[in-house]
Amino acid sequence: MQTTKLIISPARPEETPVIYDFIHQMAIYEKCEEDFVTDEETLYSSLFVQHAAECLLLREEGCESVIGFAVFFHNFSTFVGRRGLYVEELFIIPEKRGMGYGTATLRHLAKIAVERNCGRMEWICIDWNLPALSVYRAIGAIPMDEWTIQRMNEQTLKQFAQGE
């Protein structure tokens, strides 16, 4: 488990290239690199101008290099009647996995959710990522197996909006 202290801090605008690189690494890990279409300028604008989401960077105490990141934003549950915290990405570099950093990051995010009076915290996980799924079960997360994610990519969305 974790022996070195994990430092979790909000990302700064000048760290956009680091965030971009981590998102690219995550796309490769999840075998969906073809869906990785953002660029640093768009990412910068989304995170630091539009504030569409928030980003945390993870470092080990005493080290400058980033070992992981988390991106989250608020959604809303009509059933709960309050906003929730949705974790879009959580990624730790392979050589630092299994050290408790993912659990520590989820706990940090849970504290943010509680401080902001969120009614729930949610995220998705690819079904073949068994190490992550075992962590999620261990911390009490409940799989929503009866639900399926529905998605329209940008092209499909535009075609549908135009009545095509």
The model's pTM? 0.92
pLDDT in tens, 15-33: 999 999 999 999 999 999 9
Average pLDDT over residues 98-125: 96
Segment holding 69, helix H or strand E: strand 66-77
Give yes or no for a contact between 59 and 5, defined as CB atoms under 8 angstroms apart.
Answer: no
- What pairs with residue 55 in β-bridges? 71
Phi and psi at 87, nearest 5°, equal -90, 110
What proportion of the chain, given as a percentage, has pLDDT over 90? 92
Mean pLDDT of the chain: 94
- What pairs with residue 89 in β-bridges? 71
| pLDDT in the model for residue 1 | 54
Residue 57: pLDDT band with limits 50, 70, 90: very high
| Distances 83 to 21, 25, 43, 74, 121 between C-alpha atoms, Å | 30, 30, 24, 6, 9
Is it the case that residue 83 has pLDDT exceeding 80? yes
Average pLDDT over residues 97-124: 96
pLDDT in tens, 37-46: 999 999 999 9
Phi and psi at 28, nearest 5°, equal -65, -45
As given in the structure block, the two tokens for residue 13 are: 């605008």
Structural domains of the chain, ranges and CATH numbers in brackets: 6-161 (3.40.630.30)
Q: Which residues, including other chains, have CB under 8 Å from residue 52's CB and lie 6 or more apart? A: 46, 73
d(CA 67, CA 25) in angstroms, rounded, equals: 12
Active site residues: 136
| pLDDT in the model for residue 3 | 59
Residue 34: pLDDT band with limits 50, 70, 90: very high
d(CA 97, CA 134) in angstroms, rounded, equals: 13
